[in-house]
């Protein structure tokens, strides 16, 4: 077995062992043209005869280097030669980096992940494959050590955080380069990877080699540390999500009496979960200030960072987010329920997300988005899940608010729009009940309300990959 075949076989074994892909899944590859992503794309394309996958690729142009146009052409040619469709998206890294609190590195990462999510939604891709390898993980652990990260930060670069997966995480950088040479791929090298202005480059080129002279097995130890902590963090997050349901009251507020009875470690983890911090760091001083404020119980607001704050009132508390923060580049989406206000609120949902909508009067509706999956030929009646076309999610502009008298929507199969309020009246909803009833908007237009058939503009075609939106009314 030659070097190329060994690499491909090992890639499949690692991915199967960690359940990164399933047969016939649609996979989007983040493709930059570098050795890591080139090895990943080529290997996945080659093993499709044994492991059927639908492959697509995306090149994200950060607009930072003049050679990006040539790189995009190279990526398109390499992907096309392997039968993999490639899309190119441009993002404004400099624009985001000019905002307070953002660096070029962090802005590039956030916009890159946003572009990948949007393209995955557009394609109906269940997984997004990233080209991070073992050395990337080791460098990230060391960077986070220097920045004072805790357990979560040191469990860097997990194998899977859907939709993102990292199939190359057990391969060293030198292995992906060796694969490209053996496979005849002239991968592009990013000149910025040697720029000492970036901390990661200084660690890679200067610090790590020096430390390895003292501890030759340092890379292996740091990789093992990240692996153990990532697995433990995933398990602890599962426990925390189950615990979260026990400390939220019927209105979705955090019950401070139940919170006080928890161990300190559980209190901190629940606060991180509520603050949406799994994808970004939450400063320990802010976390502790919020936790102690919850224990004291006096009415106040505690800043959590990233535009989020903890609002304490009476026996409860909740985490809110400012509109300014919501308009910026999004953090990685938290796996716990999120809340949106009664007024029209931008709503960008990823798969498997739960959202709590507080209707006027304080009652909560619960919405769960699942998928992607083929839409059934007969999607069912009005109270069945809404099967949303993935393109509508990719476009964004989804919102929820109560109905208005001028609202009209056009159910699939009808030739003219209907008055939404009148349809709700015919469903037996009086004026008071209608004022607390949710209406889903797409780009400002009503497209669905629980109990009504969906608008033709948002409904997925039969058999198309789509997302099922399920609504649960408040308990009466």
DSSP E strands: which ranges in 82-212?
86-90, 127-129, 160-161, 164-165
Element (H, E) at 211: helix 208-214
Q: Residue 60: pLDDT above 90?
A: yes
In a domain? residue 244: no
Q: Which of 330, 363, 383 is the last residue of a domain?
A: 330
Token code pair at residue 427: 């469903």
Q: How far apart are CA 272 and CA 304, in angstroms?
A: 9
Any domain includes 461: yes
Residue 242 located in a structural domain: no
Confidence of residue 338 (pLDDT cuts 50, 70, 90): very low
Between residues 473 and 99, the one the model is more confident about: 99
Q: Mind listing the pLDDT tens digit for each residue in 339-365?
A: 444 444 445 555 546 677 777 766 778
The last residue of one of the domains, among 330, 362, 390, is 330
pLDDT at 37: 96
* Number of domain units in the chain: 3
CA distances from 287 to 34, 281, 308, 474 (A): 39, 10, 12, 31
Q: How far apart are CA 99 and CA 106, in angstroms?
A: 11
Structural domain containing residue 323: 249-330
Over 60: is that where the pLDDT of 335 sits?
no
Q: What is the pLDDT of residues 158-191, one digit of tens each?
A: 898 878 999 999 999 999 999 999 999 999 887 7
Position 337 scores a pLDDT of: 40
49-59: pLDDT as tens digits: 777 889 999 99
Same domain, 324 and 347: no
DSSP state of 34: S
Q: Please report whether residue 279 resides in a domain.
A: yes
Which structure tokens are listed for 440? 């889903």
Residue 168 forms part of a structural domain: yes
Question: Same domain, yes or no, for 196 and 301?
Answer: no
| Same domain, residue pair 427 and 462 | yes
Does residue 241 lie within any of the structural domains? no
- Say yes or no: 182 and 219 in one domain: yes
Q: Are residues 351 and 223 in the same domain?
A: no
8 A C-beta contact, residue 229 and residue 154: yes
Which CATH number goes with the domain that contains 143? 3.40.50.620
């Amino acid at each position: 077995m030659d070097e190329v075949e060994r690499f491909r076989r090992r890639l499949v074994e690692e991915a199967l062992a960690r359940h990164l892909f399933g047969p016939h899944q649609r996979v989007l590859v983040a493709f930059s043209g570098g050795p890591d992503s080139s090895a990943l794309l080529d290997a996945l394309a080659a093993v499709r005869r044994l492991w059927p996958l639908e492959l697509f690729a995306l090149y994200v142009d950060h607009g930072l280097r003049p050679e990006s146009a040539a790189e995009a052409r190279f990526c398109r040619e390499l992907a096309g030669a392997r039968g993999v469709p490639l899309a190119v998206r441009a993002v404004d890294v400099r624009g985001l980096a000019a905002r307070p609190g953002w660096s070029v590195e962090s802005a590039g990462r956030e916009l890159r992940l946003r572009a990948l999510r949007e393209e995955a939604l557009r394609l109906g891709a269940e997984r997004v494959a990233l080209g991070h390898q073992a050395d990337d993980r080791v460098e990230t652990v060391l960077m986070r050590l220097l920045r004072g990260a805790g357990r979560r930060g040191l469990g860097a670069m997990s194998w899977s955080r859907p939709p993102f997966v990292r199939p190359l995480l057990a391969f060293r950088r030198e292995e992906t380069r060796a694969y490209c040479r053996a496979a005849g791929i002239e991968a592009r090298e990013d000149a910025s990877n040697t720029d000492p202005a970036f901390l990661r480059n200084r660690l890679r080129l200067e610090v790590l080699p020096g430390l390895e002279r003292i501890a030759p097995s340092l890379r292996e130890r740091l990789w093992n540390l990240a692996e153990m902590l990532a697995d433990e963090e995933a398990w602890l997050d599962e426990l925390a999500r189950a615990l979260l349901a026990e400390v939220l009251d019927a209105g979705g507020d955090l019950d401070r009496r139940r919170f006080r009875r928890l161990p300190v470690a559980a209190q901190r983890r629940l606060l991180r979960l509520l603050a949406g911090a799994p994808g970004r760091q939450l400063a320990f001083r802010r976390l502790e200030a919020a936790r102690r404020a919850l224990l004291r119980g006096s009415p106040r607001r505690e800043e959590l960072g990233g535009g989020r704050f903890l609002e304490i009132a009476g026996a409860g508390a909740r985490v809110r987010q400012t509109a300014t923060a919501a308009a910026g580049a999004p953090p990685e989406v938290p796996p716990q329920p999120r809340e949106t206000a009664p007024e029209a609120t931008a709503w960008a949902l990823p798969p498997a997300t739960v959202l709590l909508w507080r209707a006027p009067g304080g009652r909560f509706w619960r919405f769960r988005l699942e998928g992607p999956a083929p839409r059934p030929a007969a999607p069912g009646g009005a109270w069945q899940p809404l099967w949303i076309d993935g393109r509508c999610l990719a476009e964004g502009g989804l919102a929820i608010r109560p109905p208005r008298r001028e609202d009209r929507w056009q159910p699939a199969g009808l030739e003219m729009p209907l008055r939404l309020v009148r349809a709700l009246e015919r469903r037996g909803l009086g004026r008071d009940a209608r004022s607390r009833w949710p209406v889903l908007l797409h780009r400002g237009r009503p497209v669905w309300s629980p109990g009504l058939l969906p608008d033709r503009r948002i409904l997925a075609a039969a058999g198309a990959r789509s997302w099922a939106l399920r609504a649960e009314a408040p308990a009466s």
